[in-house]
Structure 1
């Protein structure tokens, strides 16, 4: 029987940029570089868990287009900045919302580092610019609501809707911790064959997860999915045996009926 040979080597290579790296799988059976690469890319971009801002309450802003006194940015600019906040949530089920606070007075440039500390949350990009207070008499107060989730979730598709709460502004959320995935295939020689594949998966994360851990998480998801299919198909041989057994019974029964019919015909001819 024709057998699809497994790859022999997996190499992990950290990139020059932070939180970037490459995974090289070789040699892959002809065509399987594309098969494996596309599956991994899809799962990496859509199915890994992460955390993101899901809503904001800004003092003095009832909607996203509001202008704030003594603040350089308007409400919309501040919201766009907060959507870039990358963080880890150490506890809580998917969908559970955690509140963070940002309060400041006086002339100052506010970054993610100014957000109050929370034992359940770690902010990765603390240098992220959020807003700038332009006057010594100015102030800024905001409540930032964050949650765990998967992939991209729009306001319309969010199960918990708090838009009726005064001052609460919901946001579309990008939970995936993967910023980019590039899959490339190169030909490699195996014996006399030159059409085997070398799969290269370049992964860039947002800093909340290591590229190698992200790769393993994607592989685990695929293994889990295919394991389920394997279990469901596990009874295929038994089903085939039952069908074969049933056919044998029907054949024997038909042969028996034919013999009885022949006997009856012989008896009638004898008469």
Structure 2
């Protein structure tokens, strides 16, 4: 009887936004099955945070120009899609974990560039890419005040059409890309265990937006698969 072998997961390389992992040894045929399953879960089922609506002072809709700002509202929304937000599960001063929509904001005055570093956040919210460009104020007397609503979720969600949200004057719902995984690639290589040469090694490349460690994302994906 052939003795069963237990696959092991090893980290070959990891940074804030990239991780390379190997899973071996796997029985013949399991490399593609596991690789495809992990890839699908990573891309569709990992919880992340995203902007779901925006309120810009003096702006009623996304097609409006903004006095003293280089970008119009539409261009501003496109730039904000590249702002990556991380919400920590911290407790507030009352010892209660805050749930539901959260608000971050931008309060800028005078000519200059606005980046992710200018976003004002509570202590449990972090901008993962503070260098990202948002807008330019082109006049010394101009200002830009925005409130950004942040929520947690999975996958890609179109703006809600609820009456309650549309009743808030000037609040612009936006599509939300919650998934923190940018790209996942995998390949299957042959590997050897003892005298057997038909085992497989799964190599996974996981790219994130910096709001979750690649190893944590892989751990969550494996946990999700184990529950089905």
TM-score (norm 1): 0.75
Please give the alpha-carbon distance, in whole angstroms, between the structure 2 residues aligned to 1:194 and 1:114: 56
For residue 44 of structure 1, give the secondary structure of its aligned residue in structure 2. helix
Cα RMSD between the aligned structures?
A: 2.1
Query: Across the two proteins, how many residue pairs are aligned to each other?
Result: 220
1:185-232 per-position Cα deviation (integer Å, ceiling 9, x unaligned): 11223455443211011101111111111111111111122xxxxxxx
Please give the alpha-carbon distance, in whole angstroms, between the structure 1 residues aligned to 2:5 and 2:163: 45
Please give the alpha-carbon distance, in whole angstroms, between the structure 2 residues aligned to 1:159 and 1:32: 45
For residue 207 of structure 1, give the secondary structure of its aligned residue in structure 2. coil
Bigger relative contact order, structure 1 or 2, given CA contacts below 8 A and separation 6+?
2
TM-score (norm 2): 0.89
Q: CA 1:3–1:172 in 2, change beyond 3 Å: closer, same or farther?
A: farther
Q: Which runs of 5+ in 1 are unaligned?
A: 226-271
Are 2:153 and 1:149 aligned? Answer: yes
Partner of 1:98: 102
Please give the alpha-carbon distance, in whole angstroms, between the structure 2 residues aligned to 1:105 and 1:151: 35
Please give the alpha-carbon distance, in whole angstroms, between the structure 2 residues aligned to 1:56 and 1:169: 5
Q: CA 1:12–1:105 in 2, change beyond 3 Å: closer, same or farther?
A: same
Please give the alpha-carbon distance, in whole angstroms, between the structure 1 residues aligned to 2:178 and 2:52: 10
For residue 48 of structure 1, give the secondary structure of its aligned residue in structure 2. coil
Q: 1:86 aligns with which of 78, 84, 89?
A: 84
1:223-264 per-position Cα deviation (integer Å, ceiling 9, x unaligned): 122xxxxxxxxxxxxxxxxxxxxxxxxxxxxxxxxxxxxxxx
Please give the alpha-carbon distance, in whole angstroms, between the structure 2 residues aligned to 1:126 and 1:26: 38
Partner of 2:183: 180
Q: Which runs of 5+ in 2 are unaligned?
A: 90-97
For residue 76 of structure 2, give the secondary structure of its aligned residue in structure 1. helix
Please give the alpha-carbon distance, in whole angstroms, between the structure 1 residues aligned to 2:164 and 2:179: 21
1:1-271 matched pairs, under 5 angstroms: 5-15=4-14, 18-91=16-89, 92-93=98-99, 96-156=100-160, 162-225=165-228
